[in-house]
Structure 1
Amino acid sequence: MKPYKVLVVDDSAFMRKIISDLIENDADFQVTATATNGREAIEKINKLRPDLVTMDVEMPEMNGLEALKIIMASDPLPVIMLSGINEEGMKETILALEWGAFDFIRKPSISNSQDITGVGESLREQMKEAMLAREQREARASAFRMPDITPLEPLLPTPSRLLPDKSKAALKSSLKDEGMRKPRGKQPVDSIIPKKATKPIISAKTPIIEKAKPKSKAENKPIPPKPVIDSLVEVSSDPPGLSPDRMVGSKNLHKLVAVGCSTGGPRALKVLLEKIPADFPAPIVIVQHMPPNFTKSLAQRLNTFSPLEVLEAEQGMILRKGAAYIAPGGYHLQVTPTSKGQYAVVLTKEEARNGHRPSVDVLFESLLPLTSLDRHVLLMTGMGSDGARMMKSLYDSGVTSTFAESEETCVVYGMPRSAVELQCVKHVLPLQEIAPRLVQAVK
């Protein structure tokens, strides 16, 4: 098999060299070209038709976000973003994931060889998953490519796969577009750019980045002061301190939703949370595999879309209805009861589980003893199997409901598939249908 062709895009010659060397440590990948900015990247994509692109976020002339949006609007291919650790870089990385980037890696510290090695391992793992995901999508699309037969028909005989008419139409359109895509070959240089995306867009004279709409006054209600919880389990390290203005909790809490996701998760969480109403009668606790600091930017971004209040969880927070809590990168998140009948967040730095901290299994395991709650658990797109084992334990113990995102909408069908294979999922649904069904189950 020929190696996959990779385009490396970064304005730093030194970083281009580092990333290229890390990629070519795997014989399955070959760096066929490099580019110094987004505009040059688009030109080389047209000419060389690479299988995969690594894209720096911050670059002169045309940055990674602007280039990504043009690529995704015309002829999408897997793009892995390289992000700095400054606040602006993190925010732009979250936007990139929302706009269709496969995943991202943190730029390595050039003075730390161990860090460079670790980044290389993560990058190669993501590249392999990106290629596997693409091949699986193409195989699915090819299976449905039959003349005079609606592509969706093979899914219809199983009752659990029945979809509302609107969802079937959307899925059929998506599969048709993907299945009928022209094979990559020599194409005109401007073929990757949409018909309307002529030179004024390429030169980035017109801003491309969209800003989220401001929330209505109803969604921006001030947060009442929160009482400090009186009882918590011991933690193994010193997690972030609890902000005084983040201390409100719901008494008589009877329901809880727990969500786990990884690759493709930020976009999936946006679709999920923007469809859940503000009066949702349960807190939602979320583990998204992400490095430290990025989860705060993710929570802030999701908060602009969701009727719920979305925030990065802090040590000792009391869970309340109508709010969603995202585990901070680098910390496991557990839910524990207090002596006042409430439920609190506990953050720990215990050893990574399934290669992750935060880990979905750690969150789900903390729900096992909370039998007085109606517990609803959900696994969405992501590599690996984190969360599946503890979802099985919850299912066997009689948890209220279990959900998994179906293969056709997952960026990577890893975590949900693992749970489905363990036969512990009551509802397997495409992403767009999860929120309505979850609201129905909880209410």
Structure 2
Amino acid sequence: MKKYTALVVDDSAFMRKMITDIINQSRLIEVISTARNGEDALEKVEKWKPDVVTMDVEMPIMDGITTLTHMMEKSPTPVVMLSSLTKIGADKTMEAMSLGAVDFIAKPSGSISLNIKEIQQEIISKVEQAVVSNISTFQKREKAKSVSLDTESRFLKRNRPMVNPIIAIGSSTGGPRALQEIITNLPSDFKAPIVVVQHMPKGFTKSLADRLNKLSNVEVKEVENGDLIEKGKVYIAEGGKQFEVIGNGAELIAKVSKREPVNGHQPSVDVLFGSIARLPHCHPLSIILTGMGKDGSNGIVQLKQRHPRTITISQSKETCVVYGMPQAAERTSLVDYVLDIQDISTILQEKV
């Protein structure tokens, strides 16, 4: 079987060698070449036309962000960023996600991680996911389906208005860019709280929330234990912890705790959705966005059982980077609407 090809980009010769050795353990992918900086990477991409690229965020001569920008304009290729666990690294990684990187990997101990082998399974898994991802979503903006937004809007408007609405969103691979598409298009007077689980490690969720807050009309923050969940605000789960919404009389309160992973995830979409299902008086609207796996599907079942009027939306296959989570949601037969990512914020404004 012919393997996919990878280009490894890092300014450290040690890291290039280690990452190459790790990727070459994959049954699907082999490293065809390496590059020591962004300029070198752009030349190698043109020469070798790899199926996937791993790229360090911080490099001399031309850094990962600049390189990614040029690459997505001239030679769109699935890219997995490698970042140090620093605030600067996290902030730049979130910028890379918005520019078209498929995913990222946090180096366990800085730019030169001698213990990089500790995360070799994560590296192999994410590179294998990236090589089959749908990066065309980063280039085209036209609608992918024949169903018009006007038709969907007229149908949704005939429904009764939502009372005590709460919007719950789950996303994974490709999620930061999808969340940006939705949240930055909401008005400052949006009339429902929004709670979000994005699969991401600790430290990076704060950078994601801060970036979205700067770009949006609504307030966006990384949720903290005890936060009052208020309308017109967006609360993003902290990486490495579970996020639940609990009732306290007429108020909704955030419960953030360190627990066991669910479906291999902490935070988990199922945990968040399940907590909302247990709320006595609310009208949930759940959204499953791009991502690998099936996290959120069990939560959808719980929501529909406890709150039959729950509205569930999944992101269309054509606009997903990875269709796994939306596909799993649709297989429950409980999804009400399948929408292109650029239509979701409009539907939210009409329903809430």
Fold in common (TM above 0.5): yes
Partners of 2:322 and 2:148 lie apart in 1 by: 21
Within a 5 Å distance, the mapping from 1:393-404 to structure 2 comes to 393-397=302-306, 398-404=308-314
Distance 1:128 1:388, change over 3 A: same
Partners of 1:312 and 1:121 lie apart in 2 by: 28
| 2:293 corresponds to which of 377, 384, 389 | 384
Partners of 1:432 and 1:111 lie apart in 2 by: 39
One-letter code aligned to 2:189: D
Equivalence for 2:165: 255
Partners of 2:291 and 2:317 lie apart in 1 by: 11
1:304 aligns with 2:304: no
Equivalence for 1:163: 148
Following TM superposition, by how much is the alpha carbon of 1:396 offset from its aligned partner in structure 2, in angstroms?
3.2
Equivalence for 1:146: none
Partners of 1:117 and 1:12 lie apart in 2 by: 16
Partners of 1:407 and 1:72 lie apart in 2 by: 21
Equivalence for 1:129: 129
One-letter code aligned to 1:293: G
Unaligned regions of 5+ residues in structure 1, if any?
142-150, 157-161, 168-252
Following TM superposition, by how much is the alpha carbon of 1:436 offset from its aligned partner in structure 2, in angstroms?
0.7
Partners of 1:75 and 1:318 lie apart in 2 by: 45
Following TM superposition, by how much is the alpha carbon of 1:132 offset from its aligned partner in structure 2, in angstroms?
2.5
Equivalence for 1:435: 345
Equivalence for 2:41: 41
Equivalence for 2:273: 364
Equivalence for 2:13: 13
Distance 1:72 1:111, change over 3 A: closer
Partners of 1:71 and 1:112 lie apart in 2 by: 29
One-letter code aligned to 1:26: S
Equivalence for 2:223: 313
| 2:261 corresponds to which of 344, 352, 372 | 352
2:85–2:108 Cα contact (<8 Å) kept: no
Structure possessing the higher radius of gyration over alpha carbons:
1
Equivalence for 2:176: 266
Partners of 2:149 and 2:236 lie apart in 1 by: 31
1:322 aligns with 2:307: no
Equivalence for 1:335: 245
- Write out per-residue CA displacement over residues 226-261 of structure 1, whole angstroms, 9 at most, x where no aligned residue: xxxxxxxxxxxxxxxxxxxxxxxxxxx922111100
Within a 5 Å distance, the mapping from 1:187-198 to structure 2 comes to none
Within a 5 Å distance, the mapping from 1:193-208 to structure 2 comes to none
Following TM superposition, by how much is the alpha carbon of 1:287 offset from its aligned partner in structure 2, in angstroms?
0.4
1:381–1:413 Cα contact (<8 Å) kept: yes
2:122 partner SS? helix
Please identify which structure carries the higher strand content: 2
One-letter code aligned to 2:351: A
1:106–1:119 Cα contact (<8 Å) kept: no
Following TM superposition, by how much is the alpha carbon of 1:9 offset from its aligned partner in structure 2, in angstroms?
0.4
Following TM superposition, by how much is the alpha carbon of 1:394 offset from its aligned partner in structure 2, in angstroms?
1.2
Equivalence for 2:317: 407
2:133 partner SS? helix
Partners of 1:133 and 1:59 lie apart in 2 by: 25
Partners of 2:56 and 2:293 lie apart in 1 by: 26
Equivalence for 1:94: 94
Unaligned regions of 5+ residues in structure 2, if any?
153-162
Partners of 2:333 and 2:340 lie apart in 1 by: 18
One-letter code aligned to 1:2: K
- Write out per-residue CA displacement over residues 359-391 of structure 1, whole angstroms, 9 at most, x where no aligned residue: 000000001121311111111011111001111
1:408 partner SS? helix
One-letter code aligned to 1:366: S
Following TM superposition, by how much is the alpha carbon of 1:164 offset from its aligned partner in structure 2, in angstroms?
3.9
Partners of 1:49 and 1:254 lie apart in 2 by: 52
Q: Percent identity?
A: 44
Following TM superposition, by how much is the alpha carbon of 1:393 offset from its aligned partner in structure 2, in angstroms?
2.1
1:9–1:53 Cα contact (<8 Å) kept: yes
- Write out per-residue CA displacement over residues 187-206 of structure 1, whole angstroms, 9 at most, x where no aligned residue: xxxxxxxxxxxxxxxxxxxx
2:243–2:267 Cα contact (<8 Å) kept: yes
1:30 aligns with 2:30: yes
* TM-score (norm. length: structure 2): 0.90
2:323 partner SS? coil
1:133 partner SS? coil
1:288 aligns with 2:273: no
Following TM superposition, by how much is the alpha carbon of 1:32 offset from its aligned partner in structure 2, in angstroms?
1.2
Distance 1:111 1:68, change over 3 A: closer
1:98 partner SS? helix
Partners of 1:112 and 1:68 lie apart in 2 by: 25
- Write out per-residue CA displacement over residues 156-213 of structure 1, whole angstroms, 9 at most, x where no aligned residue: 4xxxxx1248x9xxxxxxxxxxxxxxxxxxxxxxxxxxxxxxxxxxxxxxxxxxxxxx
Partners of 1:54 and 1:95 lie apart in 2 by: 16
One-letter code aligned to 1:379: I
2:166–2:193 Cα contact (<8 Å) kept: yes
Within a 5 Å distance, the mapping from 1:144-163 to structure 2 comes to 156=146, 162-163=147-148
Following TM superposition, by how much is the alpha carbon of 1:321 offset from its aligned partner in structure 2, in angstroms?
1.0
Compute the RMSD of aligned alpha carbons: 2.1
2:78–2:133 Cα contact (<8 Å) kept: no
* TM-score (norm. length: structure 1): 0.72
Distance 1:435 1:134, change over 3 A: closer
Distance 1:309 1:315, change over 3 A: same
Stretches of 4+ moved more than 6 A in 1? none
